[in-house]
Amino acid sequence: MAAERPGPTARSATGSALVTGASRGIGAAVAATLAAEGWPVGVSYRTDSEAADAVVAGIEARGGRAMALAGDVAGSDTAGNLIDALEERFGPVLVLVNNAGVRADGLALSIRDEEWDRVIETNLTGTFRLTRRALRPMLKARYGRIVNVASIVGPRANPGQANYAASKAGVIGMTRTVAAEVARRGVTVNAVAPGLVDTDMTEDLSPDLLDAVPARRAGTPEEVAACVRFLASEEAAYVTGATLAVDGGLSA
C-alpha cells in the first residue's frame, strides 16, 4: 500500500519564497525563475537597493509579485526581520533559497580573524539562522522547500579560500542533517554547488580556470536557477539531503 503523501502541492500551497542575495547574479536569476513559477518573491539584498528594485520591477513587469527586503544576513536579527516582513505581505515563507555569500580570499597564513568571521557569519551562520526561522511555517504547513547555494569549493581543496571552503562545506553538512530531521514533515532541504559561474563574484578570477572545466565555459546564473527551480518544485518531493553540482563537469 502506497504511503500517503504529506502536505499540499506547490500550486495549492499558499505562501511565498525568499531569496537572499537576490539583487544580482544567481540570486536575481533564481528570484525571477521562482516568480515565473507563481511564487510571490522576497528579493533580499544587503546594500544595492537600486539593483534589488530593478529585479522587483522586472518580475512585476512579467506579471509576478515581489518585494525588496534590505538586510545583512550576518546580523543576528536579520532572519526574523526578513521573514516577518515577507510573511506580512505575502504569507508564510514556504520556499527559502539561501544564496547570499561573500569571499575574502587569501592563503591561510594571511587570513585575518575578521575575514574568517565575516565569511563564516555570512555564508554559514546566516544560512543556518534563516533556515531555522523558515522551518516554523514550513513544518506547520507540512510543506516546504529549502535550497542552499553551496559551492564545489566546499568538498574539494582550493588554495587561497580556506574560509570560503569551510563555510560552504559547513552548508553542505548542515543541509544533509536538517534534511534528515524534517523529511517526514513534507519539507525538503537540498543544496546546489555551482562551479565557475559568470557573476560579479567571479569576475576577478583567472580566465585560466576555464581550462580545468570540461565544458570549457563558465555557467550562467540562469542555469543554476533552473536547478533551484527543480529542487523547489513538487516534482522534487522525494529529493532531500542532496547536493547538485552545477559546474560543467569540473567535479566529475
Query: Rounded to 10 degrees, what is the CA torsion of 147, 107, 247, 223?
Result: 60
Angle CA 230–188–85, to nearest 5: 90
Active site residues: 164
Q: Which cell numbers in the block locate residue 113?
A: 580573524
Contact 24, 46 (CB under 8 A): no
What is the distance between the alpha carbons of residues 60 and 95, in angstroms, rounded to a whole number?
19
Distance CA 159, CA 235 (A): 38
Rounded Cα gap, residues 127 and 177, in angstroms? 14
- Three-class secondary structure assignment of 203-241: CCCCHHHHHHCCCCCCECHHHHHHHHHHHCCHHHCCCCC
Residue 47 CB burial class (10 angstroms; 0-12, 13-18, ≥19): exposed
